[in-house]
Amino acid sequence: MASCNSCSAPLAPNTQYCHYCGVRNDVDLRGKHDYRVVTRESTRICPECNVNLQTIALDMQPPLQIERCVSCFGLFFDPGEVETLLETAVSPVFSINQELLGNINKDRYQKDKPVKYLECPECLNMMNRVVFGHRSGVVIDQCRAHGVWLDGGEISHLLEWKRAGGQILDQKNKAELQQKKRRPSESRAEIDMLMQNYGKPSAESDLLETVASLIFKVFE
Ligand SMILES: [Zn+2]
Ligand SMILES: [Zn+2]
Ligand SMILES: [Zn+2]
């Protein structure tokens, strides 16, 4: 279990506030990912603290440049960079640990936390709140053009979610949804009905042709 940088008291999973001394801890990077500071003050602004974010390069191949707030330890990722980090930092996962996923979700999800919309560090437009993946429990703030903002602790949480197989579950769900969209059940019922009305075609090729033309009709 991680402990407070200031008083050494134990920290609850992926939380940055120490309940004993009130100090905020960098739970995402300290002791977990090496990085170097590229720009001390970038032009991007922390949506929580209103100070300039620092640009850092995470020590990985290829190096990933992200922005970091030195005050609240929130992180800003360009579009696709969270996915890259998950891909690079977690070795391939082949199974889903449902129990662990349930706990991860429970740990993170705070019902009483007030909903707050944040401004994009780059364009200052209000960001959208988006659930990152199935059962991750992490709601990220997203600007479609510039990227996503993660509060302190959230990237660590997503890495755990991926290790527990959360991303596999997510991809499975998306694939199932796509398939449902491609073959709507009502249309299939309609095809069956039409087939019955048409009666039995004489040869197999006729049957295929009839079915093909019917499918076209249904989807027109
Ligand atoms: Zn402390
Ligand atoms: Zn901040
Ligand atoms: Zn933006």
Q: For 52-113, what is the HEC assignment?
A: ECEEEEECCCCCEEEEECCCCCCEEECCCHHHHHHHHHCCCCCCCCHHHHHHHHHHHCCCCC
Distance 71 CA to ligand 2 centre (A): 5
Distance 85 CA to ligand 2 centre (A): 21
Selection from 165, 112, 155, 163 nearest residue 134 by Cα: 165
CA of 17 to the centre of ligand 1 (A): 8
Taking the CA of 45 as reference, the closest ligand is: 2
CA of 75 to the centre of ligand 2 (A): 9
Kind of pairing, strands 35-39 and 75-77? unpaired
Q: Which residues surround ligand 2, an ion (CB under 5 A)?
A: 46, 48-49, 69, 71-72
Q: How far is the CA of 152 from the centre of ligand 1 (A)?
A: 16
The CA distance from 204 to 207, in Å, is 5
Ligand nearest to the CA of 44: 3
Ligand 2 geometric centre to CA of 17 (Å): 14
Q: Give yes or no for a contact between 104 and 166, defined as CB atoms under 8 angstroms apart.
A: yes
Spatial separation of the C-alpha atoms in residues 75 and 118, rounded to whole Å: 13
Please list all protein residues whose beta carbon sits less than 5 angstroms from ligand 1, which is an ion. 4, 6-7, 9, 18, 20-21, 23
Considering every ligand atom shown, identify the ligand nearest to the alpha carbon of residue 4 and give its number.
Answer: 1
Distance between start and end Cα atoms, the chain: 59
Q: What is the pLDDT of residue 195?
A: 60
CB 77 within 8 A of CB 54: no
pLDDT digits (tens), the chain, 220 positions: 778 989 999 988 767 888 899 898 888 888 888 899 999 999 999 999 999 999 999 988 888 999 999 999 999 999 999 999 999 988 889 999 988 888 877 766 566 678 899 999 999 999 999 989 888 888 999 999 999 999 998 999 999 999 999 999 888 888 888 888 877 666 666 666 656 655 444 445 455 555 555 555 454 4
- Rg of the chain over Cα atoms, rounded to whole angstroms, equals 24
Strand order in the sheet with 128-131: 35-39, 54-58, 64-68, 75-77, 147-150, 139-143, 128-131
- Which ligand sits nearest to residue 19's alpha carbon? 1
CA of 1 to the centre of ligand 1 (A): 14
Q: What is the pLDDT of residue 38?
A: 96
Q: pTM score, two decimals?
A: 0.77
